[in-house]
Amino acid sequence: MIIGGIYVLFKVGGKDEKIRLKLDNFKLKIPIAGLLNQRNILSSTIRTMSMLLSAGIPLVDTLRIVANVSGNEIFNKAYLQIAERVQKGFSIANSFEETGIFPIVVNQMVATGEATGKLDEVLLRVADYFASEAEQSVKSLTSAIEPLIMIVLGLGVAFLMVAVVMPIYNLTSQF
């Protein structure tokens, strides 16, 4: 019932922008999974930015394209905000920092890439960094969940053993 409710919330809520914004914000704030989700989004969007910039696509167009492929409404709005600020003449590093959702390492590396004129190369390194961080988060998450799974399986086996042995014990005690 709970799983069905969550499914309906995501399906119906996915069509309304306000609900989608709240759901995406919630997904980013889930203790361990939120950080993993953020790292995956950053890895894919920053890698896409790097590829588009190295292909010669203008920065503002690149940011608008990346906004559409992030898969998260919070990041969509942030990339569109950055595109608007860059179009108005603000620096890209300042625009990234102004959104407040990007980690400090992203802001610093974007500033470095902008200053050196090698933004596409720097962004590729940042994307690789977040991909490895996401991979490390998955390893940490699985090693943290593993003991819990073993306990649940052990309790399940114990319950089955009691469910099988108790009726047999009751039958033998009657004689």
Q: Residue 132 has what pLDDT?
A: 95
Q: Are 144 and 160 in contact (CB under 8 A)?
A: no
Q: Are 96 and 88 in contact (CB under 8 A)?
A: no
CATH architecture observed for domain 2-136: Up-down Bundle (1.20)
Q: Are 105 and 129 in contact (CB under 8 A)?
A: yes
Whole-model pTM: value is: 0.77
Residue 4: pLDDT above 70?
Answer: no
Per residue in 121-169, pLDDT tens? 999 999 999 999 999 988 888 888 899 999 999 999 999 998 888 888 8
3-class secondary structure per residue, 104-129: HHHHHHHHHHHHHCCHHHHHHHHHHH
Strands (E), 14-141: none
pLDDT interval class at 20 (50, 70, 90): confident
Q: Which of 52, 53, 49, 36 is nearest to 78 (CA)?
A: 49
Per residue in 80-89, pLDDT tens? 999 999 999 9
Q: Are 52 and 6 in contact (CB under 8 A)?
A: no
pLDDT interval class at 170 (50, 70, 90): confident
Residue 115: pLDDT above 70?
Answer: yes
Q: Residue 65 has what pLDDT?
A: 95
Residue 94: pLDDT above 90?
Answer: yes
Which single residue is written with the structure tokens 């108005």? 88
Q: Residue 119 has what pLDDT?
A: 94
Which H or E run contains 81?
helix 73-87
What residue spans define the domains of the chain?
A: 2-136
Query: Percentage of the chain with pLDDT > 90?
Result: 63
